[in-house]
Every structure is written in C-alpha cells, then in structure tokens.
Amino acid sequence: MPSPFVYEEPVASGDLIDRTDELAALRDRTSEGRNSRLEGPRRFGKTSLVRALLADAEREGGVPVEVNFLGCVTSADVAERIERAYGRQLDGPLRRWFDGLVRTFQPTLSAAPAGVGVRARPQAGAPGLLDRLSLPRRIHERTGRQCAIAFDEFQEVLRIDPALPGVFRSELESHGAAAAYVFSGSHPGMMRELFADRRHAFFAQASPIELGPLPPDALAEHVTARFAEGRRDPGEALGPLLDAAEGHPQRAMLLAHHLYQQTAAGGEADVETWTRALQRARREAAGEVEVVWDTSSGLERRVLRTIAHRTVALTGREAAERFGLGKSGSTQVAVERLVGDGHLMPDAAARSGWRLVDPFLAAWLREDQ
Ligand SMILES: Nc1ncnc2c1ncn2[C@@H]1O[C@H](COP(=O)(O)OP(=O)(O)OP(=O)(O)O)[C@@H](O)[C@H]1O
Ligand SMILES: [Mg+2]
C-alpha cells in the first residue's frame, strides 16, 4: 500500500487533521454572508481548509468558486484568473448562462497599435475586471443562490498595484447577501497591511481566522491511524517525529510519509527507521530551506540563527558574542521583515519570544555551526 500521507498539495477534507474550530468559524461566517480572511504561514493548510469550506457551502446550496491569484502580474491576469475559475467551477444551466454572459463582458486585454499584437492594460481599473468581479451579484440575481468565494494568494493582487484592492472593494462592497468572501494569502505582512488598514474599511471587516501549528495529540492520532490502516506501527519513532515537526503541518506529513516508506508492511518503526526517514525528509526539503537562507540579508541570518537557538534572547551579550547581533533597533526591523515574510511566528516559550516557522530550517541552523 503506497504512503497515505499527502505533503505536496492541498489535502482532501477527509485527510484534514484538526482545524474543526477554524472550519466551523469559517462556515458560520460564510453562511451569514460575512467575509473572512485566513491567516497562516506557508504550508499551514490554508488552501486545504478553504476547499473544505467550499465543499460544505456547495452542499448547503451555495455556489463555490476558488480563485488562486498566484503568478498574476497584471490586472488583466487577475480578471482572466477570475473568469477561468468560474468557467471551471460552474456547471449545468449556470455554466451555459455564464458562457453567454462572459461574451458580453469587456475584454481583459486591449489591442495594442497595429502589428504589435495584444498587450495587457496597464491601469489598475481595467474595466474587464469589474465585469468579472460582478459575477456573484449576477448569479444571485438570476438564481437566488449565494456564492462562497475564496480569493487565495490575495497578496498578489496588492503586489500588482496598491490601487487594485480599491477596484475590488468598489464592486465587492455592493454584494451584500450575494456572496461571502474568504481572502487568504501566504504573505502575512502584506495581508495584514491590507486588512488592518482603516482606510480599507471593507477589508478590515473581514474577520481574521488564524491557523497555528497542529496540536501533537491530533497529529499522533492521525499518523497512528494511517499507519494502522497500512498494517504498520510508528512505534518509538512517533515521539521524535512530533518533536521534529513542531506542529508544522506540511513538515509533519513529509516526515510521516518517509517514516511510512521506511517501515515494512506488518512492521513497527524503530530508532534506525526514524533516522533514515528524517534524513530523507530533510534531503527533500533542503532546496526550500536553502532558498530562505540565500534570500536573507546578513542581519536577518544572524536573527534567524539566534532565534533558532531558542535559549538565547535577541538583545544581550550572548546574542552579540555568539551571533554578532548588535543594535536592538536594526534587529527589530529585521524581525519585522521576517515576520512579514512569514518566516517567524510568536512563541512565548522561547527566550526571544519567536520561533522559526520551518522546523527544518531551525534544526539546520542549530546544527550547522
Ligand atoms: N490540517 C491539515 N491536516 C493534514 N495535513 C495538512 C493540514 N494542513 C496542511 N497540511 C499539510 O500541508 C500541506 C500544504 O497544505 P496547503 O496547500 O493546504 O497549505 P497552504 O497554507 O495553502 O500552503 P501555501 O502557502 O503553499 O499555499 C499539505 O500537503 C499537507 O501535507
Ligand atoms: Mg495555498
């Protein structure tokens, strides 16, 4: 039996560990037509949760639409991404109505002067975008059904042009009961900037739902049950696995996958099985870990090293002597950048008050000295 642990893509709702409270909160808000924003570091299960929510909304009679903005670089891309998402996810009579309707919309691209071909409109308020954003209102008018819409990787919209969220707001504000939106994104800093800013009152009303690490008991139960279904037992490897994952959902599944692969059917994992699994998991994640390191400044690297050591405070002699951390002002700026980029999260138990989001990066920094 192949490994049952998914770690490379969003998980199906049957594989979701925990998250019942978060899902219930999202479900309540969505059914009341309220908007939410889903906050969490990369790979903490935002997309998986959003998909579980949309599946529920559909069962309740809503129209689910998931739009992922990753890779969009112009407002025309954004408009097209929305149009394609509806095209893929609507079906039956609604789909046929949609196929006719989109042909009445302004095009998302404007033709350049003769011979140059087609080029994206540079301005934020490309009229084609407003047409596509109006779809939930039109669906509601036609069918009386409410749309449940997930705008995933929403920080991309902000990156394109700071004025673009204003275009969204101008249309979305009028949706009332026609739609409930969930905004999620993998850049906590940009998401917070948009959603906490009073000038963007519309977005500020989208209540935050936070995804933290997964609790060890829920992880232990899931891993043990999945091993048992494959006639295996995680045995004494389970404790070290939970410690190494630190509740990071994707790292936990990556470790569980390799442990499963290393454990024979009908067998039980031991310390050697665990060592091999850990090595393989870390080898697989090495590229990602190095990218974070390579793209960090000298100061950020010193901050990461200090925080990875858990028992060292950011200000004080030890941080200065062991890791070369100087003035607290610039350290604070580096911490804020790392938090904004989603590499650090608060941890009251650590001397610095922070911990690295990725336990593999932290382990590597603790060893590599
Ligand atoms: N609740 C969960 N139960 C089980 N596995 C989970 C859970 N949440 C996340 N994962 C693991 O994390 C991986 C990534 O999940 P997902 O793509 O939903 O996260 P994301 O936050 O959307 O990530 P990204 O920031 O890359 O878009 C999954 O493949 C799975 O291994
Ligand atoms: Mg995602």
In order, the DSSP letters of 304-334 are HHHHHTSSS-SSSHHHHHHH----HHHHHHH
CA of 100 to the centre of ligand 2 (A): 31
Residue nearest to ligand 1 atom 11, measured at CA:
250
The pLDDT value recorded for residue 2 is 93
Number of C-beta neighbours around residue 113 at 10 A: 7
The pLDDT value recorded for residue 110 is 55
**Closest-CA residue to 362 (of 300, 311, 289, 297):** 289
Q: Is 233 left (phi over 0), alpha (psi -120 to 50) or beta?
A: beta
CA of 250 to the centre of ligand 1 (A): 6
For every residue of 98-133, DSSP letters joined together read HHHHHTTSPPSEEEPSTTS-EEE--STT-HHHHHHH
Beta pairing partners, 182: 36, 150
In the three-class reduction of DSSP (H, G, I as helix; E, B as strand; rest coil), residue 214 is classed as coil
CA of 12 to the centre of ligand 1 (A): 10
| C-alpha span between 312 and 11 (Å, rounded) | 36
The pLDDT value recorded for residue 369 is 53
The pLDDT value recorded for residue 368 is 61
CA of 47 to the centre of ligand 1 (A): 7
Side chain identity at residue 2, one-letter code: P
Best residue for ligand 1 mutational test, from 3, 37, 48 (most atoms within 8 Å of Cβ): 48
Residue nearest to ligand 1 atom 25, measured at CA:
42
Digitized pLDDT (tens) for each residue of the chain, 369 residues in all: 899 999 999 999 999 999 999 999 999 999 999 999 999 999 999 999 999 999 999 999 999 999 999 999 999 999 999 999 999 999 999 999 999 999 999 888 754 444 444 444 444 556 799 999 999 999 999 999 999 999 999 999 989 988 898 899 989 999 988 999 999 998 988 888 888 877 777 888 899 999 999 999 999 999 999 999 999 999 999 999 999 999 999 999 999 999 999 999 999 999 999 999 999 999 999 999 999 999 999 999 999 999 999 998 998 888 888 888 887 778 999 999 999 999 999 999 999 999 999 999 999 999 965
Q: What does CATH list as the number for 297-367?
A: 1.10.10
CA of 294 to the centre of ligand 1 (A): 24
CA of 348 to the centre of ligand 2 (A): 27
Q: Which residues contact 357 (CB under 8 A, 6 or more apart)?
A: 41, 42, 248, 342, 343, 344, 345
Residue nearest to ligand 1 atom 12, measured at CA:
250
Cβ atoms of 259 and 232 closer than 8 Å: no
The pLDDT value recorded for residue 198 is 73
Ligand 1 atom with the smallest distance to the CA of 18 is: 1
The pLDDT value recorded for residue 115 is 45
Ligand 1, CB cutoff 6 Å, lining residues? 6-11, 15-19, 40, 42-48, 186, 249-250, 253
CA of 155 to the centre of ligand 2 (A): 12
Ligand nearest to the CA of 253: 1
CATH tag for 19-210 (out of 3.40.50.300, 3.40.50.410, 3.40.50.170, 2.40.50.140): 3.40.50.300
What are the boundaries of each domain within the chain?
19-210, 216-293, 297-367
Side chain identity at residue 235, one-letter code: G
Gyration radius of the chain over CA positions? 23
Ligand nearest to the CA of 48: 1
Best residue for ligand 1 mutational test, from 5, 7, 11, 20 (most atoms within 8 Å of Cβ): 11
Beta pairing partners, 65: 149
Ligand nearest to the CA of 43: 1
Best residue for ligand 1 mutational test, from 253, 284, 357 (most atoms within 8 Å of Cβ): 253
| C-alpha span between 179 and 207 (Å, rounded) | 15
CA of 69 to the centre of ligand 2 (A): 10
